[in-house]
Structures are given as structure tokens and as C-alpha cells.
Amino acid sequence: MSVKAAGEVETARFGRAAWLAWGAVVVALIAGGISYRLVTEKIVRLSTKRIILPVPLGRIPKEIGDWTGTDEPLSPEVERIAGNDDYINRLYVRSISGEAANLYIAYSGRPRTMVGHRPQVCYVNAGWLLDWTQRTELALEGGDKLPCLLHRFEQPPPKTGEVYVLNYYILNGVTTNDEDSFAGVSWRLPNINGNPAWYVTQVQMSSRSEAAVRDLAGATVGAILEFLPDREGKVAAEGKYRAENPDRIE
């Protein structure tokens, strides 16, 4: 075989080897891309899957002390925008005075979805004017205190009207009035495992009476906490309200 012919054979072999190597790279890239897409799709699917509480918030008693509540479900569009895993929207009326106050509880096992959903934003976007906001604490039975935020909104002229809004957050079983406590990067990670004990819940009372939102907040906080995982992930309401009248708390 001539030197030229040998060289051509060697070049052909090198060419085939190069194409085989490049083909292997392409296959690896395609396989890697498919795997990445499948993993990404799974993460997205798991991170957007609804987180189920052991006991639905809807089981929170409608009769608490001298307050009696009636459910007022939100529209599907509002539910979609809020993006919560569970919620109740309930109008409570106090039997001894006739005062009325709305109770809205929004639970999210994906804390990042709660960022931005606060009275100072939502009420203003709905056309209300924010008059003031103050941090306060409610004295509870037994000496405990509930940290919360109290707001006053008014309608713009020529309309007249005002509404008081009291809200607080429950972060993994701990009450807080710090809206930045779940705004960090770590709280934006997806809840892939669907852990209901990794959550933020907003509790919000609204009424034309400041006294009404304060009283309803103090009356309901104990029952609300029983339906949410505590610091150890335990839900006190499991098995507790299976009596003949689960809708009554004295």
C-alpha cells in the first residue's frame, strides 16, 4: 500500500471516529436536555400542586363565643389571583350588639405566593385610600399577646365611608405582624415535598368598627391556630372536632 493510500485510510478512520464521538456528544446533549426538561416539569408540577391541610379551614367553627358566622365564598377569579391552598371568607355577627366583621383566612404552603397580598396593596388597588397603619398587640386571655397590624381606609370623595382592617400572619405556627418575615429568598423555594407545616397564613378582619375587628381577632385566634400546624408540625384540630356539634366553641 502506498503512503498516500495509507494516509487516506487513516484519515477516513479518523473521520469516522470524529463523527462517532460528535454523535455521542449530540446524543448525550439530547438525553441531558430531555432529562432536564422532565425534571423541570416535575418540579413545576410538584411546586404548583395544592398543599392539603389535615383539617380544612372550612371546619373552623362558625359559632365562636357570641359571634356567629356565614360563609361568603370568593369568586373563582379572585381565588385564582390569590393562589392560596385553602381559605375561608366568612361574615361574623355579634349577637349581643349586632356588630358585623368579615374574617378572611388565607393559607399557603408556598409562602412566596403570599408576598404582595396585604391590605395596604389590595385595598388601595380596589380604590380605597389608606389613612393610617399602626403596629399593635392585642391582649389575650391567659396573658398572651397577639401582634397585629391595624389599618384605616376611607373611600375617595365624593363617596364617604371607612373600614378598619386588622391583620396578622402565622408563619409555621408562630404569629407575627412582620410582613417581611417571609419575603426572603429561602421562602421563595418551592415546597416540592408538599409539607403542610411549611407555610404562611394571613388572617384578616375588616369592619366599619375598630372595636369589632379587635374583638373578633381576640375571639378567633385560638380556634384558628388549632387548625394550622404548630412549630412541631402538629395540628390540634385533628380528631378534636368530631363531636356531635363541631361548629361550636364556647
Cell of 178: 412582620
The pLDDT assigned to 239 comes to: 76
3-state SS, residue 85:
coil
Query: What does the pLDDT read at residue 196?
Result: 87
CA distance linking residue 107 with residue 121, whole number of Å: 18
- With vertex at residue 86, the alpha carbon angle to CA 84 and CA 89, rounded to the nearest 5 degrees, is 95
- What is the reported pLDDT for 232? 92
Specify whether the backbone of 210 is left (phi greater than 0), alpha (psi in -120 to 50) or beta: alpha
| pTM over the 0.95 mark | no
Sequential pLDDT tens for the chain (250 residues):
554 455 454 545 555 655 555 666 556 556 555 444 434 344 444 445 789 999 999 999 999 999 999 999 988 888 887 788 999 999 999 998 999 999 999 999 877 777 677 899 999 999 999 999 999 999 998 899 999 999 999 999 988 899 999 999 999 999 999 988 887 776 667 776 778 888 999 999 999 999 999 999 999 999 999 999 999 999 999 877 654 444 544 4
Extents of the domains making up the chain: 1-48, 57-249
Is 64 in a helix, a strand, or coil? strand
Give the CATH class of 57-249.
alpha beta
